[in-house]
């Protein structure tokens, strides 16, 4: 199916206007990159999650932290926008898990257990699941909290990692993939820190504060 899609894009490239060729070429490059990166014949949920994360790699996604009203359930901000949490949300949704719905249900039933950093007095379906501290609480409650170490081997395919960015302490989140760093010592991360939904060797770039696995 993916090969057929690439062929279709190639045909479009031959027939489109000059000003549109760059856009089509970029789509072809992304599709080919994802095809190379995908893990063949994934055998478990976490390998599938890694593939899902790889499948949404898109450097053209604009980091957009503004509040947006979205549908419920399965709501999403515009496809070419998003923040770090949207990477996790979009990857899980490809496997049929709607974190918007899951987080909302748990927050509604256990609101007192979730952070009150934003001064909220009730839940908000538009934003609750897009806030990293809320996701940390949800994964601790509904998933499995794993040790935080400086050993790269402890961070395996499909793990969720959260950080606090040095200097400002801003929360960040990403997904550990099956793809290795150039030296083969670390698994690369799919995340969005301002340069789109990208794959990078950044596991130890910031202070790790959360390490989870979650499968519904």
Domain identity same for 109 and 201: yes
Domain identity same for 110 and 16: no
pLDDT of residue 27: 62
Domain identity same for 77 and 116: yes
Q: Could you give the number of structural domains in the chain?
A: 2
Domain identity same for 81 and 174: yes
Look at strands 81-82 and 62-63 and give their pairing.
Answer: parallel
Domain identity same for 75 and 1: no
- 114 lies in which domain range? 43-213
- For residues 136 and 77, give the distance between their C-alpha atoms in angstroms, rounded to a whole number: 21
pLDDT of residue 29: 60
pLDDT of residue 166: 81
Domain identity same for 198 and 123: yes
Q: Which of 30-34, 91-95, 189-193 has the lowest mean pLDDT?
A: 30-34
Whole-Å CA distances, 44 to 50, 95, 145, 148: 10, 12, 19, 23
pLDDT of residue 1: 43
Domain identity same for 49 and 24: no
Q: Which of 63-72, 115-124, 142-151, 205-214 has the lowest mean pLDDT?
A: 115-124
pLDDT of residue 168: 76
pLDDT of residue 100: 98
Higher pLDDT, 5 or 163: 163
At 74, is the pLDDT very low, low, confident or very high (cuts 50, 70, 90)?
Answer: very high
Give the mean model confidence (pLDDT) for residues 2-25. 54
Domain identity same for 30 and 121: no
Percent of the chain with pLDDT over 70: 83
Q: Which of 13-17, 36-40, 98-102, 108-112 has the lowest mean pLDDT?
A: 13-17
Domain identity same for 93 and 153: yes
Is 183 a residue whose pLDDT tops 50? yes
Which residues, in sequence order, are CB contacts of 165 under 8 Å at separation 6+? 171, 172, 206
Domain identity same for 51 and 132: yes
User: Distance from CA of residue 198 to its chain's centroid?
Assistant: 9
Which pLDDT tens digit goes with each residue over 103-137?
999 999 999 999 998 888 999 999 999 999 999 99
Domain identity same for 16 and 78: no
Q: In whole numbers, what is the pLDDT of the chain averaged over residues?
A: 90
Domain identity same for 50 and 2: no
Give the mean model confidence (pLDDT) for residues 67-94. 98
């Amino acid at each position: 199916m993916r090969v057929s899609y690439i062929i279709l894009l190639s045909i479009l490239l031959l027939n489109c206007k000059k000003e549109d060729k760059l856009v089509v070429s970029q789509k072809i490059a992304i599709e080919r990159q994802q095809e190379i990166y995908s893990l063949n014949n994934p055998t478990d949920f976490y390998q599938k999650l890694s593939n899902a994360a790889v499948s949404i790699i898109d450097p053209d996604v604009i980091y957009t932290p503004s509040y947006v009203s979205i549908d419920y359930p399965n709501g999403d901000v515009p496809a070419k926008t998003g923040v770090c949490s949207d990477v996790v949300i979009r990857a899980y949704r490809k496997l049929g898990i709607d974190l918007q719905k899951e987080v909302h249900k748990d927050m509604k039933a256990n609101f007192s257990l979730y952070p009150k950093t934003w001064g909220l007095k009730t839940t908000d379906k538009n934003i609750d699941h897009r806030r990293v501290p809320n996701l940390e609480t949800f994964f601790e409650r509904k998933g499995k909290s794993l040790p935080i170490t400086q050993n790269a081997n402890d961070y395996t395919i499909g793990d969720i990692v959260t950080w606090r960015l040095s200097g400002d302490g801003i929360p960040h989140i990403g997904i550990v993939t099956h793809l290795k760093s150039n030296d083969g010592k670390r698994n690369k991360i799919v995340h969005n820190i301002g340069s789109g939904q990208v794959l990078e060797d950044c596991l130890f770039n910031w202070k790790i504060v959360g390490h989870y696995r979650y499968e519904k």
